[in-house]
Amino acid sequence: MVLRPIWTRLKQHRAAFGEFSYYMFMFAASFPFVITFNTCVLELLKIRGPSMYPFLNSEKDQTTRKDVVVNFKYNAQYSLQRGMIVTFWNPWSPEVMTVKRIVGLEGDVVKTRSPYPYSTVTIPQGHIWVEGDGGEHSLDSNYYGPISTNLIIGKVTHLVWPLHRAGRVRWEEYADKIRNQK
């Protein structure tokens, strides 16, 4: 007898198992794919807090709904550019995911803000400088210094919700407007 995959045999003998059992098996069989896709490729992420205001959560004072974005995780640590919005593990609380804009890449000299102890910093190899668009309302590299690129989880590529602002995140438009370039 030729061995066939179990789902092919189930499909042929659907009547014996019943429609409900067949669909339950197919639903359960899709879990590994969905979990792997969500862990390694992309996920939907809800943005909370004012640190990326006005670019994200621009309606924070008018509504309680949060922006939903696509977080593209595949090869996230590579091809980083100034102006990109990235997600990363917070250096102070490693269980917390944080969303910020890249302000400086390795080798850049960046002007810092308070409470960073120095007025300028040179970004070391394998690190980036991130800041929130919200200015003083953001816990960013001005608090914890340059972050390692190994902490980066993903790149924010699309805005999904609210629908009237949905579309691709055009980070390139912000690369020239970053105040910290020296």
Two tokens, residue 140: 């960013």
- Per-residue pLDDT band at 125 (split at 50, 70, 90): very high
Two tokens, residue 153: 């989880």
Residues annotated as part of the active site: 51, 100
Give the β-pairing of 152-161 and 167-168. antiparallel
Helix (H) or strand (E) holding 155: strand 152-161
Contact criterion met (CB below 8 Å) for 86 and 78: no
Two tokens, residue 149: 């690129």
Res 167: pLDDT: 72
CA 34 to chain centre: 18
- Per-residue pLDDT band at 85 (split at 50, 70, 90): confident
- Per-residue pLDDT band at 55 (split at 50, 70, 90): low
Res 63: pLDDT: 52
Tell me which residue of 79, 142, 137 sits closest to 114, measured CA to CA: 142
- % of the chain residues with pLDDT over 90: 2
DSSP character for 181? B
Contact criterion met (CB below 8 Å) for 97 and 153: yes
**Assessment of whether the complete model's pTM goes beyond 0.75:** no
Q: In the predicted model, is pLDDT for residue 172 greater than 70?
A: yes
Q: In the predicted model, is pLDDT for residue 158 greater than 60?
A: yes
Contact criterion met (CB below 8 Å) for 78 and 155: no
